Amino acid sequence: MTEIPRLIEEFNRSNEDLRDWTGQIFRGLCSDAEHRWLFFNTLSYMEHIGSYKIMATQLANVIDYPTLKHLNEETGHAVLFKRHAERLKGAGVDYSETVLIAPASARAYFGRLEAAMVGEFGRHANYRTIYLYMSLIVEFRAVWAYQILERCIAAEQLGFSLDKLLAEEQGHLNSMVRRLNDDEQFSEIRVHQFWSRERKLYVRLMNAIEKQLGCKAYKRASNHPDSLAYSPA
Q: What pLDDT was estimated at residue 231?
A: 43
Q: What pLDDT was estimated at residue 220?
A: 47
Assess contact for 82 and 142: CB atoms under 8 A.
no
Look up residue 144 and give its amino acid.
W
- pTM (predicted TM-score): 0.89
> Mean pLDDT score of the chain, rounded to an integer?
88
Task: Go through the domains of the chain in sequence order and give each one's CATH number.
Answer: 20-213 (1.20.1260)
Assess contact for 178 and 70: CB atoms under 8 A.
no
What's the N-to-C CA distance of the chain in angstroms?
17
The percent of residues in the chain predicted with pLDDT above 90, rounded, is 70
Per-residue pLDDT for 232 more than 80?
no
Q: What pLDDT was estimated at residue 66?
A: 87
Q: How many CB atoms lie within 10 A of CB 166?
A: 16
